[in-house]
Copies of this chain bind each other. A is one copy, B any other.
Amino acid sequence: MAQKPSIPKGTRDFNPTEVAKRNYIIHTIKAHFERFGFQPIETPSFENSETLMGKYGEEGDRLIFKILNSGDFLNKADAKAYDSKDSNKITASISEKALRYDLTVPFARYVVQHQNEIEFPFKRYQIQPVWRADRPQKGRFREFFQCDADVVGSSSLWQEVEFVQLYDTVFSALKLEGCSIKINNRKILSGIAEVIGAQDKLIDFTVALDKLDKIGEEKVKAEMLEKGIPQSGIDKLQPLFSIEGDFGSQIDQLKSILNTSEEGKKGIEELEFINNGIATLGLKTATLQLDVTLARGLNYYTGAIFEVSAPEGVAMGSIGGGGRYDDLTGIFGLKDVSGVGISFGLDRIALVLEELNLFPETITNTVKVLFINFGEREAMASMKAIKQLRERGVSAELFPDNKKTIKQFNYANKRNIPFVVLLGESELESETYTLKNMISGEQDQLSFEEMLQQLS
């Protein structure tokens, strides 16, 4: 019996128009990555499980897609787990490979594995799909593309400056104007935790603070209290909740909060360097904003933390993020290699461009001209002309069957093919081509060279 075809939850087919739109974004990102000196690498879709497991926390481990071993895998299954039917414990013994969960851990693995072939600082970009067994929702899929640029092997803050420029450049090139590039620094968060006496509760503290936008000041405070942060500490936070003004004046307020924390002061210094660089160099259409509540994958980042929001009025989570991580490659045995990087969220960017109607109208990958098929002799003559057009760079095709002309015209219309050529008996005789512009309806009888000119 025939199956009713479908695809797995959270995955997508892309039709030619969708592919063209996605490629428009990818090509824009790539072009600017390369202009900024990043070079592409590619890593396998699946990695050895031990490369990925334990790198993304318990939740991450759960969301990693595991690949079943080939052959008689049950034969090698962990006997105890098998007897107790423990899905969790049996996994490692029946699955040795897993699909890439992000591009960062495979990149760290790559750097360590190929460290002797790499010149540091190593500026790489990588645009590949990743897979997560997450619950699908708007803008979140089980297969999606990440577009990452990272530098490893230098702790220079010029790189943070460059990444802010890179975000601004790419989003401006995509005509997505008015994005907010939010920046924070792990050292600021550590400093604040220190000042309020919650060093040992840094995670709880930042998780709560990160929710300020969503749940408001009072609930954030309540959560902190609940997590064991003393009321006296929370009181010291008060200035943080009312922090405002431009980058410089926010920095000043932070200075007064953090004046007793060495780490906090270091964080301020870093922020000032980046802000100063950006102020001097200028941004095209985005703005750089300090956001002391920004935490993201805190455990991971050790310095700058970035996140990009779409222009105001567009309801969409972050469309990019990143930061500095001082010891990513340590997990694979290469110590003291500082890294910093950013990621572009392709799928969400596509949704935003769609919503704001920002895809250029010229995006298309439709063939330029269709030759109507009037039968074998005419088709052969058409194929000769088509061959020459293609050699001159014009995409062209013959309607393969000698169907009614109206049907062939309908096909051209529905596929949005802009030109149609009629090469019938009379044209064959006069060695001309009747070229019809499908948009204007205009029709001309032309020589090959004249036709070529119109199509080029």
Contact = CB atoms under 8 A, between A and B. Distances in A.
B113 A94 contact: no
Nearest to A50: B3
5 contacts: A7-B47, A8-B47, A19-B42, A39-B365, A277-B380
Interface string A207-241: 00000000000000000000000000000000000
A333 B4 contact: yes
A87 interface: yes
A258 to B, nearest CB: 24
A287 interface: no
Contacts of A440: none
Interface stretch (A29-37, A180-188, A299-307, A309-317): A29-37
Chain copies in the assembled complex:
2
A35 B73 CA distance: 47
B158 A400 contact: yes
Interface residues of A: mostly helix, strand, loop or mixed? mixed
B331 A16 contact: no
Contacts of A365: 34, 39-40
Interface of A: 2-8, 11-16, 19-20, 23, 32, 34-37, 39-48, 50-51, 62-63, 65-68, 70-75, 82, 85-88, 90-91, 94-97, 99, 109-110, 112-114, 117, 119, 121, 123-124, 129, 131, 133, 143, 151, 154-156, 158-159, 161-162, 165, 169, 277, 280-281, 330-333, 365-367, 370, 373, 379-380, 383-384, 387, 390, 393-398, 400-401, 411, 414-415
A8 B331 contact: no
Nearest to A39: B16
A62 to B, nearest CB: 7
Contacts of A72: 87-88
Contact of A117 (B15, B73, B96, B398): B15
Contacts of A73: 87
Contacts of A162: 398
Nearest to A121: B400
